[in-house]
Amino acid sequence: MTKKTSPYPSIRKVFWFGWKIVIALSISLCLFAILRLQHSHLEPSPSYMLSRRSRIPIVNFQGNPKLAFLFLVRRNLPLDFLWGTFFENADAANFSIYIHSEPGFVFDESTTRFSLFYNRQLNNSIKVGWGESTMIAAERLLFEEALEDPANRRFVLLSDGCVPLYNFSYIYKYLMSSPRSFVDSFLDKKETRYNPKMSPVIPKHKWRKGSQWIALVRSHAEVLVDDEVIFPVFKKFCKRRPPVDPRKGKQNTKLQKQHNCIPDEHYVQTLLAMSDLENELERRTVTYTSWNQTATTMEAKGWHPTTFNYANAGPQQIKRIKDINHVYYESEFRTEWCKNNSTLVPCFLFARKFSQGAAMRILGEGVVGPFAASTLLLTHQ
């Protein structure tokens, strides 16, 4: 008599085989998820992935648009007499003023001649060091404060040595009429400030250089303030090499081998490139700087801006600056013709660095508008 084979073992085999497939798939999915997490951590963040702070959107802003003047200064405003006259010939509803000074410094009747600067300092200012990340941190604080006013639609960053080359009306119309930001930005393949340790968050092909003196539209100012990805990388890997100190002797040799990077000449440009916003820029600055590039100066200090004094701030010198209508970028073989809505315009609205004597001469020439000479005689109480 033939013994029948029970069907149950085959069912158990199928059951266990199915479980093996489920387990294998689960393990594969877990490994895939881990690899994806590692990959996303290593890949540079695309523009839509850059961390953004929550912000209440302003849709169809109704009101008088303001131009925000952001002064990044060491302590006081040494050219307040010039800027005071500039603003006094403007409608107060068209501008706002913000000043980042050293912590604890207050603008009042004892520190400035003009009441419009009173209490315009930031209350959360920080100590700033040249060539350090604190410089771009201070810039971010200025833009953050200015963004609190929804009427501020354009933002221009200025130093304590900046002067206006035109009256308020011209500058206001120039910046307000353009839908673009003005950011000096270029790719310099020969420069060595890019730190490979920034990769892969900041790839080398997105590294940019340019002037820190920028003029931004509101949406780009928000990108600057909301950034929580690029700034930490700059803070960690873009640092100025310590200057030679005779007291340190042979230790200087080791120190001079450190990587050298100046954050404020790269941060905004690189951030906007990383955010895929370069097509929304006029890739030039509206602030003129004359660089001292003599060999002696470069060996001792590096390139630094020439300071204009009374003698070289006359009408002819100022006219030469105002007549400039294009900028040539040698590293990119690019000529940037200065345009505003496809119309050729002067490149520069401001210039630096100006001494008090040079600023007084500009004021006397009526560049910024009529002024009362008596304001120059006022003394601080």
pLDDT of res. 367:
83
What are 257-299's pLDDT values in tens digits?
567 899 999 999 999 999 999 999 999 999 999 987 554 444 4
Determine the pLDDT at residue 80.
97
CA–CA distances in Å: residue 358 to residues 57, 307, 375 = 43, 9, 17
* In the block, residue with structure tokens 């689960």: 26
pLDDT at residue number 22: 63
72 contacts 142 by C-beta, under 8 angstroms: yes
pLDDT exceeds cutoff 60 at 335: yes
Sign of CA dihedral 338, 341, 343, 348: negative
b/e map 75-92, b = 16+ CB within 10 Å: ebbebbbbbbbbbbebee
pLDDT higher than 70, residue 10: no
DSSP 169: H
CB of 241 closer than 8 Å to CB of 260 = yes
Per DSSP, the three-state class of 111 is: coil
Is the pLDDT reported for residue 222 higher than 50? yes
Buried b / exposed e over 238-261, threshold 16 CB at 10 Å, is: bbbeeeeeeeeeeeeeeeeeeebb
Taking all residues of the chain, what is their mean pLDDT, rounded to a whole number? 84
Mean pLDDT of 325-353: 94
Q: What is the pLDDT of residues 82-119, one digit of tens each?
A: 999 999 989 999 999 999 999 999 999 999 999 999 99
Per-residue pLDDT band for 33 (boundaries 50, 70, 90) equals: low
Dihedral pair phi/psi, residue 287, rounded to 5°: -115, 120
Contact by Cβ (8 Å): 210, 183: yes
pLDDT (average), residues 354-381: 74
Q: Are 308 and 245 in contact (CB under 8 A)?
A: no
Rounded to an integer, what distance in angstroms lies between the CA atom of residue 34 and that of residue 39? Answer: 9
SS (H, E, C) 31-45: HHHHHHHHHHHHCCC
